Amino acid sequence: MKKLLPLVVVVVLIGAGIAALYNVGRNKGYSPDQPIPFSHERHVTQNGIPCMYCHTGVEKTKHATVPAMNVCMNCHSVVLPDSPHIKRLKEAYASGKPIEWVKIHDLPDHVNFNHKRHVAKGIACETCHGDVGQMVKVKQVVDMNMGWCLDCHRGKTTPPEVVSAITKEKAADPVKASMLGTAVAPTNCYTCHH
């Protein structure tokens, strides 16, 4: 019994730890001022510019990436040249000193997240980021904690069309079906942690 006790304590501690981690907050509501007041509402909703025009990495790589200044200059070399904000943009571009956008959504380094995998499955930007196209200033609208990831991987909060696509894949692939069980995406620790 005495030999077992430390082990039991460790197991209980890990259990309590994981339960607590499930709900650790991750910046929900965070909406910092940016060095240049860039409005998604004005670009996306008023001027119809698609997300991928600027966030070019999102379908192809792990990172969505924030656009480099030459992307802004595609338009702003001619659009609103007299705006003080655009003048600052041009000065920064000319001096080669990039604008330091404040990162809003920011997971710890030990977490492995991949945009491409999620976007390829048809999960909309809005599911995870809210209606950014309507935002004058970007705001993080969900708590990006472990529970948030897992609730979707377990199928609890997954968009219905994603659930049905993966249900079909499981029906056609017994190996996938046995690996996932009732889940729609892997829930093993090493899926998300390096």
With binding defined as CB under 6 A, does residue 112 bind ligand HEC? yes
Among 41, 43, 56, 136, binds ligand HEC (CB under 6 A): 43
Q: Contact, 130 vs 139, CB < 8 A?
A: yes
Number of residues lying near ligand HEC (CB under 6 A): 77
> Is residue 111 classed as helix, strand or coil in its secondary structure?
strand
Among 91, 106, 161, 173, binds ligand HEC (CB under 6 A): 106
Q: Which of residues 46-75 bind ligand HEC (CB under 6 A)?
A: 47, 49, 51, 53-55, 58, 63-67, 71-72, 74-75
Residue 63, CB-side half-sphere exposure with 13 Å CA sphere: 6
Site for ligand HEC contains 79 (CB under 6 A): yes
Single-letter residue type at 141: V
- 33 Cβ partners below 8 Å, 6+ apart? 102, 137
| Token pair for 77 | 């070399």
By CB under 6 A, is residue 164 in contact with ligand HEC?
no
Question: Is residue 40 at the binding interface for ligand HEC, with CB under 6 A as the rule?
Answer: yes
Instruction: Indicate the Cα dihedral angle 10, 12, 14, 20, nearest 10°.
Output: -150
**36 near ligand HEC (CB under 6 A):** yes
Is 129 a residue that touches ligand HEC (CB under 6 A)?
A: yes
Other CB atoms within 10 A of residue 51 CB: 20
Using CB under 6 A, which of 41, 101, 116, 141 touches ligand HEC? 101
Q: Which is nearer to ligand HEC, 2 or 82 (CB)?
A: 82
Binding map of ligand HEC across residues 136-155, x = CB under 6 A, - = no contact: --x-----xxx-xxx-xx--
Residues making up the chain, counted from first to last? 194
Candidate ranges 1-9, 90-98, 186-194; the one touching ligand HEC (CB under 6 A): 186-194
Q: At what angle do helices 84-95 and 69-76 cross, to 10 degrees?
A: 130
